[in-house]
């Protein structure tokens, strides 16, 4: 009887030891699992933050500091978009923009593509197709056919330096050798004696800052 009690006590003790060992192992595994899950969760959070940051930068892109009611007409992708224009010199950048087809045609007719693309830093006032359409058809046709006149008109739209909104107001010497005056402040500017309104300003290209305007600037002839 005594021997039976001793045997049963030994079995019970062994069972308690085994149970404690299993609990300890389980606790260690749970700890490892929790740490692993925490690491994975932290990594996912970091990755998510990076993706969010990259996404925000991509969404803003080269158009982040542009302004004006006409900016909504600029394509959101492709060569004519803000990001697309930012990587190309100004004449090439303009050729991809659907708002500037007439201007691009005129620049080509005046053989100014290389001149504008090779300029180190300029600001260009770029009339839209609608701006050119305001001109009498006969006058526009005559200008396109007269290289000297066309060159003077187009270079009257170009000034030295890449001028931001805080620098653009004032009188500036143009590539034509005359001057053009910009009035206004903030995000509201007019250019020249004809008071051409800036539709979309501060557009970056590889070598220029572009201000899209709603009228053609006419120099004194």
Q: What is the percent of the chain with per-residue pLDDT over 90, rounded to a whole number?
A: 70
- Whether 204 shows a pLDDT value over 50: the answer reads yes
Q: What is the tens place of the pLDDT at every residue in 49-80?
A: 343 333 333 336 999 999 999 999 999 999 99
- Whether 19 shows a pLDDT value over 70: the answer reads no
Q: What is the tens place of the pLDDT at every residue in 87-99?
A: 999 999 999 999 9
Mean pLDDT to the nearest integer, 109-120: 97
Q: What is the tens place of the pLDDT at every residue in 150-182?
A: 999 999 999 999 999 999 999 999 999 999 999
- Whether 6 shows a pLDDT value over 50: the answer reads no
- Whether 31 shows a pLDDT value over 50: the answer reads no
What pLDDT is recorded for position 46? 45
- The domain spans of the chain are 2-61, 65-213
Mean pLDDT to the nearest integer, 26-38: 46
What pLDDT is recorded for position 63? 94
Higher pLDDT, 40 or 166: 166
CATH code at 65-213: 2.30.180.10
Mean pLDDT to the nearest integer, 97-117: 97
- Residue labelled with tokens 């069972």: 15
């Amino acid at each position: 009887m005594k021997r039976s009690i001793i045997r049963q006590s030994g079995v019970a003790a062994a069972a308690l030891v085994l149970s404690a060992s299993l609990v300890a192992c389980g606790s260690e595994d749970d700890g490892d699992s929790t740490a692993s899950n925490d690491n994975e969760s932290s990594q996912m959070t970091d990755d998510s933050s990076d993706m969010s940051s990259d996404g925000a930068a991509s969404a803003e892109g080269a158009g982040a500091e542009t302004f004006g009611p006409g900016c909504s007409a600029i394509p959101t992708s492709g060569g004519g978009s803000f990001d697309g224009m930012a990587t190309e010199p100004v004449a090439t950048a303009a050729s991809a923009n659907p708002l500037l087809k007439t201007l691009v045609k005129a620049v080509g007719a005046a053989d100014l593509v290389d001149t504008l693309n090779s300029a180190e830093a300029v600001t260009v006032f770029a009339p839209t197709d609608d701006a050119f359409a305001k001109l009498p058809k006969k006058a526009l046709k005559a200008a396109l056919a007269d290289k000297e006149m066309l060159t003077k008109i187009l270079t009257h739209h170009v000034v030295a330096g890449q001028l931001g909104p805080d620098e653009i107001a004032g009188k500036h010497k143009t590539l034509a050798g005359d001057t053009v005056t910009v009035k206004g402040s903030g995000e509201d500017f007019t250019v020249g004696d004809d008071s051409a309104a800036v539709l979309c300003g501060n557009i970056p290209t590889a070598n220029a800052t572009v201000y899209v305007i709603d009228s053609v600037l006419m120099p004194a002839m």
